[in-house]
Structure 1
Amino acid sequence: MDHSPKQAIRTAPPLWRRLLPLVVTITIFVLIFWRIPFSQFATSLQKAHYLPFLSLMLPFSLYYFLLDTVVLWAVMRTFHGPIAYRDLLPVRAVTYLVSLVNTQLGQGAMTLYLSRRLRVPLLEILSSVCFLILLEVTQLILYATLGMLWFPTRVPPSLFWIPVAWGLFLTLFISGVRHHWFRFLPLPQRKQEDWPLLRTFV
């Protein structure tokens, strides 16, 4: 097999692809400081207590980032095919940066990339992204519910209906998927199992 330098050059990614993450990152920060004046940002930083903040947030952020990527990796491998964990780390990092501007834009960019990377139809990847969003919202509501139960007198009683409503929604949705309640919707696919948007849930 020929391992000449010419072959290595041919297989190397083009320059624009290597520069794209840097360009996207710079663009995101430009958009952020376009919406938030840099002078106001700098003034706020002068009042911050860096040492306690960074000592708590840096380990937690790194742990959550690695764990979040593990969950994404497990879902992609389970439902769509093999992909290396290290390949998803920059994807998740860029998603976090884009989410600073718009959360839905970050999820959409990740969906499009994974669809092209795994060569899987876009709606099937979107199904898994929706699954991850449901997990994320459930986790946040669970944490919030634990906080409300710990300090019940400090929150309005009406907020306790939120976890009840979310639990009811999940129950109806999962039951609908398992018992084919959505087959009556006027969609091109006759069988609910053929719907790409529900592929991860069936």
Structure 2
Amino acid sequence: MATGKRESLTAADWTEAALTALARGGLAAVAVEPLAKDLGATKGSFYWHFADRNELLVATLALWERRDTDRVIGAIGESGDATARLRRLLRLAFTSVPDDGTAGAVGTVELALQASAAHPLVAPALRRVTERRLGFLTRLYTELGLSPARARDRGLLAYTAFLGHAQLAHATPGLLPGGRAFTTHVDQMTETLMRLGD
């Protein structure tokens, strides 16, 4: 998105660029000079919008939460048939992780953040996002009739399946099936996680 015009860049432009860099290269990739170069801007443009890198990190983590958690939960909704909502959520999560390991795909930010999970800005964001997602999954499984404890266990299973799927797509994308076989794979995972029996 190289614009070369400082005045045309917004804080949102910097934050989007930082999120892309984070997904591609982890926390270390969120650095002012490389981002400025990618955007065709100067460091002065960055400091027009942010006091420092930490302020950009906070904005970037907030954008990730809005995009990959708030928006997803909002799309699924809080009312209606729990079976259909859970199936839609699982399919959305698994199909949002493409079989080519694309850097901007859902799940890549989580994976990139794992190496920096103890960072004082990353740790609370990861915890908050994970708790919100698990809470939403637990509510859906509870609405399907599971006890709170079993719903929490099933939600944890679904979430760890998503993270494992994302890791595989990112690290060894050639191991995932492609094309129609990918769709079948997602359908099988979804239906397995929809089963409520032991």
Q: TM-score, normalised by structure 1?
A: 0.28
Larger radius of gyration: 1
Task: Select the structure with the greater relative contact order (CA < 8 A; seq sep ≥ 6).
Answer: 2
Q: TM-score, normalised by structure 2?
A: 0.28
More helix by share: 1
